[in-house]
């Protein structure tokens, strides 16, 4: 079983704080809050934040934060990790206060990524100001979106996320990229087709991209226009994936990772009837580099 309910937030470290601030507000259309000069948070729905961006010496994904149902599930998860000989650590009072949660623990995946798990994150009574995203982002019980990370030892990471953390397999994509076969594994923990994608390639930075989803294609088109007006490099042009059916494009972040901005992704609401498939291409059409 999985105690995890959704991907709740990301913590990014960067030497390009100003560029990220502009990226979130002027391109993604989100709201920067709690701006303390060397750190700020970003809102995209009713939660107090979905991103924490800090000044640092590297361009890295510092932490990925997941949510459990309540504090009892957090304690059960901690015991479950101990049974699998995985060390976990309680959040300090300062970390809990900064995360604006009731409680938290953290541990690391097989390749060192810090995973935080929180209970009862703060929800605000007012929505953020996002005039560029009139319909808002699709979040709610599915978390803010998904994350795709690299895995030099794909089998070890697959086993950890599936067998230890209880992620459920969605499907695979196996594609030849520049003469090398690359395997992508997709996992879900809620109705979103995937909360986590693993790419079986070594890379200097773990995060390949994070995804945010909107409710209509016009919002995607307007975001693509904003990216081009702002001269944000496009990593992949608009296209549709064969597995989650997401219609999306990918833009470069200030840290040279990517963001996928999409719509129309399918949901897995019936586990019993879901069929795991293997696809031979990451795109049904489009998504040209």
Q: Confidence band (pLDDT; 50, 70, 90) for 173?
A: very high
Query: What average pLDDT does the structure give for the chain?
Result: 97
Q: Do 115 and 148 belong together in one domain?
A: no
Q: Do 106 and 32 belong together in one domain?
A: yes
Q: What is the pLDDT of residue 10?
A: 98
Q: Do 90 and 210 belong together in one domain?
A: no
Domain count, the chain: 2
Q: CATH no. for residue 85?
A: 3.10.180.10
Q: Do 169 and 268 belong together in one domain?
A: yes
CA distance linking residue 182 with residue 178, whole number of Å: 10
On the question of pLDDT at 178 being above 80, the answer is no
CA distance linking residue 178 with residue 181, whole number of Å: 8
CA distance linking residue 41 with residue 51, whole number of Å: 6
Q: What is the pLDDT of residue 269?
A: 96
Average pLDDT over residues 102-115: 98
Which stretches within the chain are classed as H helix?
A: 17-22, 71-83, 93-99, 154-159, 217-229
Q: Do 16 and 148 belong together in one domain?
A: no
Please count the other Cβ atoms lying within 10 Å of the Cβ belonging to residue 208: 21
CA distance linking residue 204 with residue 128, whole number of Å: 34
Q: Is the dihedral of CA 67, 70, 71, 74 positive or negative?
A: negative
The 10s digit of each residue's pLDDT in 34-54 is 999 999 999 999 999 999 999
On the question of pLDDT at 177 being above 90, the answer is no
**Cβ-count burial of 106 within 10 angstroms (0-12 exposed, 13-18 middle, 19+ buried)?**
middle
Q: What is the pLDDT of residue 205?
A: 84
Q: Do 152 and 275 belong together in one domain?
A: yes
Q: Do 95 and 155 belong together in one domain?
A: no
Q: What is the pLDDT of residue 176?
A: 87
Q: Confidence band (pLDDT; 50, 70, 90) for 252?
A: very high
Q: What is the pLDDT of residue 264?
A: 98
Using a pLDDT cut of 90, give the percent of the chain over it. 96
Q: Confidence band (pLDDT; 50, 70, 90) for 175?
A: very high
What are the backbone dihedrals phi and psi of residue 214, each rounded to the nearest 5 degrees, phi first? Answer: -115, 175
Q: Confidence band (pLDDT; 50, 70, 90) for 202?
A: confident
Q: Give the residue from 90, 119, 148 where a domain finishes.
A: 119
Using a pLDDT cut of 70, give the percent of the chain over it. 100
Q: What is the pLDDT of residue 41?
A: 98
126: in domain: no
168: in domain: yes
CA distance linking residue 172 with residue 132, whole number of Å: 34
- Is residue 152 within 8 A of residue 111, CB to CB? The reply is yes
Q: What is the pLDDT of residue 71?
A: 98
Q: Do 61 and 109 belong together in one domain?
A: yes
- Is residue 217 within 8 A of residue 264, CB to CB? The reply is yes
User: What would the two tokens of residue 127 be?
Assistant: 């929505």
Q: Tell me, what DSSP letter sits at residue 127?
A: -
241: in domain: yes
Q: What is the pLDDT of residue 289?
A: 87
Domain with 163 in it: 140-286
User: What would the two tokens of residue 257 be?
Assistant: 């990772």
10: in domain: yes
Q: What is the pLDDT of residue 1?
A: 80
Q: What is the pLDDT of residue 203?
A: 85
134: in domain: no
User: What would the two tokens of residue 234 be?
Assistant: 């496009």
| Closest to 275 measured CA to CA, from 284, 266, 283 | 266
Average pLDDT over residues 219-248: 98
Higher pLDDT: 176 or 250? It is 250
Supply the pTM of this predicted model.
0.98
On the question of pLDDT at 287 being above 80, the answer is yes
């Amino acid at each position: 079983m999985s105690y995890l309910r959704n991907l709740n937030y990301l913590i990014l470290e960067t030497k390009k704080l100003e560029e990220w601030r502009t990226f979130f507000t002027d391109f993604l259309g989100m709201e920067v809050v709690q701006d303390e000069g060397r750190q700020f948070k970003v809102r995209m729905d009713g939660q107090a934040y979905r991103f924490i961006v800090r000044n640092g010496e590297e361009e890295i994904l510092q932490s990925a934060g997941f949510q459990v149902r309540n504090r009892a599930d957090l304690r059960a998860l901690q015991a479950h990790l101990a049974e699998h000989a995985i060390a976990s650590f309680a959040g300090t009072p300062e970390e809990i206060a900064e995360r604006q949660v009731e409680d938290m623990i953290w541990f690391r995946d097989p390749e060192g990524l810090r995973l935080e798990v929180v209970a009862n994150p703060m929800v605000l009574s007012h929505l953020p100001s996002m005039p560029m995203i009139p319909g808002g982002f699709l979040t709610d019980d599915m978390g803010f979106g998904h994350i795709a990370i690299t895995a030099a030892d794909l089998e070890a990471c697959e086993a950890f996320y599936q067998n230890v953390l209880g992620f459920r397999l969605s499907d695979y994509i196996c594609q030849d990229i520049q003469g090398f076969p690359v395997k992508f594994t997709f996992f879900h923990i809620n109705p979103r087709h995937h909360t986590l994608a693993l790419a079986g390639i070594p890379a200097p930075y773990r995060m390949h991209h994070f995804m945010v989803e909107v409710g209509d294609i016009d919002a995607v088109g307007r975001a693509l226009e904003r990216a081009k007006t702002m001269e944000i490099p496009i990593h992949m042009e608009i296209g549709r994936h064969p597995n989650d059916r997401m219609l999306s494009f990918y833009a470069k972040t200030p840290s040279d990772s990517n963001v996928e901005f999409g719509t129309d992704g399918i949901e897995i609401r019936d586990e019993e009837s879901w069929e795991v498939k293997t696809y031979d291409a990451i795109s049904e059409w489009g998504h040209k580099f």
